[in-house]
Amino acid sequence: MAELLAVEGLAAGYGDARVLSDIGFTLEDGRSLALLGRNGTGKTTLIDTLVGLTTRHAGTVRLGDADVTRLGPEARVAAGVGWVPQERNIFKSLTVEENMTAVARPGPWTVPRIYEMFPRLRERRSNLGNQLSGGEQQMLAVGRALVLNPRLLLLDEPTEGLAPIIVDELLAALRRLAREEGLSMIVVEQKAQKILGFTDDAIILDRGTIVHRAPSAALLADRAALEMHLGASGKGA
């Protein structure tokens, strides 16, 4: 497969404060990556850096044939980066449908396809964003990212704080995106077992550096590595 994302020697943070040091990894087109680590290890900072929201101190980021290192968030979206942040960032004064049509770009992911994936959104298509539950807002955030028709989808702890039934629906959707649709993804999660079952590869961050990398299936079977690097977080269902 062709290489989609290449990160080399990346150091980044907020202002003068460095959070990430010497981050380097690649992601092939059509593959998915689990980004794991305890709280405060730099997972969100890495996602924010890939989106273009942090201060870069060193290193490069390439997306396909394009060097996007110096590009801002809007240009990275145009280059093919989709993003589902922890804050969801939906338009709460727009309806479900307006949230998606306002940002949609040409491609295979259309509003009807999002409704097929998330029937709850079809039922609430005329509801304003602020009339949705937290789980429905998260589904909408994923839908908004997909209708951008990205080459790479970044998700920052998409199941955090959600009811178990919603978590199951979201994980089923992510599994479909990774396994059936072949969408390249990076998924941040604290509880490794939620996502190692459907991602291809995994990296673990600690103190802003990569301390472990392995195929997801191998890490899932490696209880010692999970306990060492993630502690109880590696045991989450």
pLDDT tens over the chain, length 237 residues: 799 999 999 999 999 999 999 999 999 999 999 999 999 999 999 999 999 999 999 999 999 999 999 999 999 999 999 999 999 999 999 999 999 999 999 999 999 999 999 999 999 999 999 999 999 999 999 999 999 999 999 999 999 999 999 999 999 999 999 999 999 999 999 889 999 999 999 999 999 999 999 999 999 999 999 999 998 555 543
Q: What is the pLDDT of residue 236?
A: 47
Q: What is the pLDDT of residue 185?
A: 98
Tokens at residue 145, please? Answer: 């990212």
Helix (H, G, I), strand (E, B) or coil at 31: coil
Q: What is the pLDDT of residue 1?
A: 74
- 9 φψ region: left (φ > 0), alpha (ψ -120 to 50), beta (else): left
Q: What is the pLDDT of residue 98?
A: 98
CB environment 83-108: b (16+ within 10 A), e (fewer): bbbbebebbeeebbbebbeeebeeee
DSSP state, 194? G
Q: What is the pLDDT of residue 237?
A: 37
Q: What is the CA radius of gyration of the chain?
A: 17
CATH classification of 1-72+190-237, choosing from 3.40.640.10, 3.30.1320.10, 3.30.300.30, 3.40.50.300? Answer: 3.40.50.300
Q: Taking the CA of residue 119 as centre, how many other CA atoms within 13 Å lie in the half-sphere pointing to its CB?
A: 1
Q: What single string gives the DSSP state of each residue in 59-113?
A: EEEEETTEE-TT--HHHHHHHTEEEE-TT----TTSBHHHHHHTT--SSS--HHH
Q: What is the pLDDT of residue 46?
A: 98
Q: What is the pLDDT of residue 190?
A: 85
Give the helix/strand (H/E) hosting 14: strand 3-14
